[in-house]
């Protein structure tokens, strides 16, 4: 039995699809039953037999913070993909986000050891890696600086990784993956999918930052290869291309046939937007969307090295332009239907 936590998210859904094509039984944890519809939709993108594939999954309601339900999910499990994590850049949730993501991972690690699980794949993030000096590439060996301003999400992913490393010291067979920004279709109200919704409403501004991007299908393929390999007690950056945000926004704009953003959002402009966003939230007009962490990320120029994963598996990466095209085709089709 293979267990997947976070099975209703973008990465988890695509992972479940790949695992459903195999012969080994798969169990997926969920907290909100309605989100299983996301999985069904994503399966339908890739197979005309999606309904039958979904039926192969053993759905298990549970919470990573509830050891009883988690213990039930671990019964007869041989391998685990730990994809679940809360994502938020709302500073009001900072301490709770760190606590919940860390506690959830600690519980997974503890039960892996108790149940003699053969192997764990822990999904971390490039957010848990150290920064670069003088524009150098960031890789698996980049040092984390506690003195640097980090988002709560980054801190939670870093601390969660530390929990996995402690488990490894106690004998756990595990690999850690650090994906960059994952691009994939289906979840239009969160993550990279929300970019298409916002773009469809019109994009006037772009920011000067840059980061790594990767297709969700590449992440899933490399995760499953790592789990079938002899690799243990290692972490791997998974990222196909380093791109300026402006270049990515242009790709999206071109694919969904809207005007490209033509004005750069300066730091002063973003600070003003931050204040307006804060004020609107205080007046109960809208939820906060812009935070100090969001601004810092949008202006930071980062580039990532995938030398390690390239040497281990020689993947043929899906070009980001192809990813954007594939996502846009599904987005436009669903937009037309709705």
For 29-53, the pLDDT digits (tens) are 998 888 999 999 999 999 999 889 9
CB 318 within 8 A of CB 218: yes
Distance separating alpha carbons of residues 251 and 328, to the nearest angstrom: 10
User: 234-271 as b/e, with b when 16 or more CB fall inside 10 Å?
Assistant: ebbbbbbbbbebbebbbbbbebbeeeebeeebeeeebe
**229: Cα separation from own chain's centroid:** 22
Tokens encoding 273: 């937007």
Q: 266 pLDDT band (50/70/90 cuts)?
A: confident
For 59-70, the pLDDT digits (tens) are 999 899 998 889
Question: Which domains are assigned to the chain?
Answer: 2-185+211-239+302-315 (3.40.50.720)
User: 81-94 as b/e, with b when 16 or more CB fall inside 10 Å?
Assistant: bbbbbbebbbeeeb
Least confident of 3-7, 146-150, 184-188, 291-295: 146-150
Per-residue confidence (pLDDT) for residue 147, from 0 to 100: 55
Per-residue confidence (pLDDT) for residue 247, from 0 to 100: 95
Q: 91 pLDDT band (50/70/90 cuts)?
A: low
Mean pLDDT computed over 182-208: 89
Predicted confidence (pLDDT) at residue 96 exceeds the cutoff of 90: no
Tokens encoding 76: 């007869």
């Amino acid at each position: 039995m293979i267990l997947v936590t976070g099975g209703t998210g973008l990465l988890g859904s695509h992972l479940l699809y790949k695992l459903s094509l195999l012969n080994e039984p798969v169990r997926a944890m969920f907290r909100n039953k309605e989100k299983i519809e996301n999985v069904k939709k994503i399966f339908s993108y890739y197979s005309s037999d999606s309904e039958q594939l979904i039926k192969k999954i053993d759905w298990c309601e549970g919470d990573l913070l509830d050891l009883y339900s988690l213990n039930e999910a671990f019964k007869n499990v041989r391998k685990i993909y730990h994809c679940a994590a809360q994502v938020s850049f709302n500073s009001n949730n900072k301490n709770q986000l760190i606590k919940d993501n860390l506690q959830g991972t600690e519980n997974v690690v503890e039960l892996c050891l108790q149940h003699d699980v053969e192997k764990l794949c822990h999904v971390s993030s490039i957010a848990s890696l150290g920064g670069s000096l003088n524009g150098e590439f960031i890789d698996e060996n980049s040092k984390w600086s506690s003195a640097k301003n980090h988002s709560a999400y980054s801190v939670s992913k870093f601390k969660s990784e530390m929990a996995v490393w402690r488990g490894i010291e106690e004998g756990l067979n595990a690999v850690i993956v650090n994906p960059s920004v994952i691009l994939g279709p289906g979840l239009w109200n969160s993550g990279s999918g929300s970019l298409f919704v916002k773009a469809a409403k019109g994009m006037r501004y772009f920011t000067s930052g840059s980061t790594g991007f990767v297709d969700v299908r590449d992440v899933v393929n490399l995760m499953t290869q790592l789990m079938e390999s002899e690799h243990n007690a290692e972490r791997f950056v998974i990222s196909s291309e380093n791109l300026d945000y402006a270049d990515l926004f242009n790709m999206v704009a071109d694919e969904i046939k809207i005007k490209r953003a033509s004005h750069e959002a300066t730091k002063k402009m973003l600070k003003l937007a931050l204040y307006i966003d804060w004020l609107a939230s205080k007046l109960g007009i809208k939820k906060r969307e812009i935070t100090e962490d969001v601004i810092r990320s949008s202006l930071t120029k980062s580039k990532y090295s995938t030398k390690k994963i390239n040497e281990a598996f020689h993947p043929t990466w899906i070009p980001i332009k192809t990813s954007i095209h594939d996502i846009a085709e599904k987005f436009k089709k669903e937009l037309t239907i709705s």
